[in-house]
Structures are given as C-alpha cells and as structure tokens.
Amino acid sequence: MGTPLEHLRDLQKRRGARGANAIPADSIRSDVARMRTSVERHAERFGNAAELWERLIPEKVREDTRLSGISGGILTVVTGSAATSYTLDRILRGGVDAEIRTASGGKITRVKMRVGQVNPPQ
C-alpha cells in the first residue's frame, strides 16, 4: 500500500481534492452554507422580537420564558410554569403587548403563551 502519506494522497485523489490543501467535494462546506441560510431565515422571521423581549419584559419573568416561534404574526412564548404565564399575561395586558406590536412594525400582532420546558435537556 505504501507510506501513510501516499495513502493520504490516494484518498485525496479519490475524493476529488484539487491540490495539497484543497477541500474535498464531500466536505462540510455545503452543511455550513445550509445552516447559515437557516439561521439567516430565522433571524429575518423573528426580526427584532428577541431585542424587544429583552427590553420590555422584566428579567425575573424573562428567565422563565423562551421564544418559540412566530407564525402568522403570532409570537409563541413558552413559560416554565402557570405562575409565570399569569405574571406575563398581566405585564402584556398592562400595555407591553401594544408596545411590542408597535415596535415590531406589524410583524407581531399577538403574543401566545403555553406552559412547557423552557431550557431543553442537555
């Protein structure tokens, strides 16, 4: 078979590498590009929702929430408990929901809450 270096060069030829430092065609480049597109799409979809949430919702409540998604102008928020949902509902009805609608430029028309797992298991 030869030396390990010869074996490596043979593998590079088989995988389509063009030169010593070339990246093979089956590299992770396409996966990274696909992930970048997905992240950019999510950032565009969420708009400034995360920034608004940070600015308008008190930290104590925010710690027990997670922004889940936006669909049809409805921002879905997962809360860790019914107590947090109630507190958040009071905050939103106190005028913060109108601030969110105005500041989002119409992208968010309503905030929907559901109780669930805030921090995914690791």
- 68 domain-assigned: yes
Instruction: Decide if 70 contacts 53 (C-beta within 8 A).
Output: no
Domain total in the chain: 2
User: Are 59 and 10 found together in one domain?
Assistant: no
pTM here is 0.63
Q: Is the pLDDT of residue 59 over 60?
A: yes
Residues 111 and 53 in one domain: yes
Residue 33 sits in which domain range?
1-14+22-46
In the predicted model, is pLDDT for residue 1 greater than 90?
Answer: no
Residue 41 neighbours by CB under 8 Å, 6+ apart:
none
The answer to whether residues 109 and 58 belong to one domain is yes
Instruction: Say whether both 35 and 53 belong to one domain.
Output: no
Give the range among 34-43, 55-64, 83-92 with minimum mean pLDDT: 34-43
